[in-house]
Structure 1
């Protein structure tokens, strides 16, 4: 496990450089009903009751929520989102610019069809950015947000003074390098190195490696580029819904992540910070019990 938070989260940001052409799709650990497929996302609906939306992160399938989705479905209608092009899925419209805006629009369209009203939205990593973008674009659609290890601007990982114009050239280089791997043989060793930087437990690392092997690098490339060139910090004061910020914390020693996150979200009106000890970027895999407790508290608030 990478103990120093900036290095750990930087590994998360840079890890997509190690992702290659999908070798196989990720097998879900739970049986799922039929999905609804849109241009940028697909959605699986589970259970009955108060709704909640779960959005996975970069290169991740909806299976990342397998540890919490079945339990939630006993009392909730759970909407499991998956970005087209991950988990071995066809990329749909996600290999062209406008991926993030397309995801937000698709999610709004789907929830409108469901007549879901204002719903809690949970997003991990890139999914956290999507959740914030949804609250900004469609404030009546979101009742509250749980953001899991995600920043309103990923450029802060490189420098506190980062701006989109400063980061964009590097983002373009990374996008082009990742996309160029499409059609080339997958590299299991590279996927394993990626997983080791993003998860701390052996089972978590095995799952993340499988996710990496199944992601379409063209979608990963475009998603990462748009993530790196999207700065939501100016919009935070206008996101009035409560935000629960869940982030990984070291088992011992100073928590450097807390300072970075509190600075990044300083202008958001309503934020609660929830550290999950002894975990890495995939906190829901490394510490499933602690994450489920945080999620239950968020939904009960």
Structure 2
């Protein structure tokens, strides 16, 4: 596997080159004096949720350091026939970190999603909604399906792996990766309160997206994320291994993954993702070419078509 492929796939869980190029951890803005609170959002300890539309429920979960705006291109169409619940992790998008300043960020997100689905917090129980998760959000969606299978109708996982350690070495274990994960967490958290580094953010975004507009958006999101929350969430992502649980996840999975001419090429991407999800009982693989990690930004029409097919089936 080439170093470029490792870089691109690391973004699946951890805001790409923060993992392999720690210089990107300096690209954090000085914290705002008064964190914003979005109008119309239901606030929970680890996430906030905005709702729009009517119909069958769909929950959209963004990845590490990404705000809910990552889904802006698909929400208007979805809302015509679905009740859409758009998640934002506290500490990203300029939001107050709230409970995410303590360990247990990913488990906390799972708990909040369970509360959202299983109680009347939004006025009615959601039953078994479709859940769409990108990157770290994909890992969280798999964690929810493992912990609360009764909450999940079906899953769309967008460029995420059951265990990110596989990109470093086949068969890698959490124990082997944990020392590096701890060091990266410390380095990222130390960037909190320091001035943003636009050049580092731009370099990060260049590896995560192909289109100029996509890269501009990604760079801005990285700069606006709370470094402390990103550091802890990254550590938890790197030390969460769902490979043993994949065979028990009964919910249908649609796995969307990108490829491009620079890398990974289609044959390499096909092999990686099919191997990673080989033990899951019900998986549909959807590859989207000429795209990088933020496939919904690079190829919005193809991603919308994949999402429509996922919800229709």
Query: What's the TM-score once normalised by structure 2's chain length?
Result: 0.90
Change (3 A) 1:61 1:254: closer
Aligned to 1:271: 283
The alignment partner of 1:81 has SS state of: strand
Of residues 280, 292, 296, the one that matches 1:284 is 296
Contact 2:57 2:126 in 1 (8 A): yes
Task: Quote the offset at 1:24 in angstroms.
Answer: 7.9
Aligned to 2:88: 82
Change (3 A) 1:24 1:9: same
Task: Quote the offset at 1:6 in angstroms.
Answer: 3.5
Deviations 1:251-287 (A, max 9, x none): 5855311111111111100111100110000000000
Of residues 229, 244, 257, the one that matches 2:239 is 229
Deviations 1:161-214 (A, max 9, x none): 200000000000000000000011111111111100100000000000110110
1:60 & 1:220 partners in 2: Cα distance? Answer: 10
The alignment partner of 2:98 has SS state of: coil
Deviations 1:101-132 (A, max 9, x none): 10000111112223000011000000000000
Which residues in structure 2 correspond to 1:134-145 (within 5 Å)?
A: 134-145=144-155
Matched, 1:21 2:28: yes
1:159 & 1:286 partners in 2: Cα distance? Answer: 28
Contact 1:22 1:88 in 2 (8 A): no
Aligned to 2:272: 260
Contact 1:6 1:256 in 2 (8 A): no
Task: Quote the offset at 1:33 in angstroms.
Answer: 5.8
2:30 & 2:255 partners in 1: Cα distance? Answer: 34
Contact 1:54 1:79 in 2 (8 A): yes
Of 67-76 and 5-14, the range deviating more from structure 2: 5-14
1:174 & 1:124 partners in 2: Cα distance? Answer: 22
Aligned to 2:35: none
2:31 & 2:131 partners in 1: Cα distance? Answer: 29
- How many residues end up aligned between the 2 structures? 294
The alignment partner of 1:115 has SS state of: coil
2:115 & 2:138 partners in 1: Cα distance? Answer: 19
Instruction: Give RMSD over aligned pairs.
Output: 1.8
Query: Which aligned segments of 4 or more residues in structure 1 are displaced greater than 2 angstroms?
Result: 2-7, 10-17, 19-25, 251-255
Deviations 1:125-151 (A, max 9, x none): 000000000111110110000000000
Aligned to 2:195: 185
Task: Quote the offset at 1:5 in angstroms.
Answer: 3.6
1:4 & 1:148 partners in 2: Cα distance? Answer: 19
Query: What's the TM-score once normalised by structure 1's chain length?
Result: 0.93
1:157 & 1:198 partners in 2: Cα distance? Answer: 16
Task: Quote the offset at 1:22 in angstroms.
Answer: 3.3
Aligned to 1:28: none
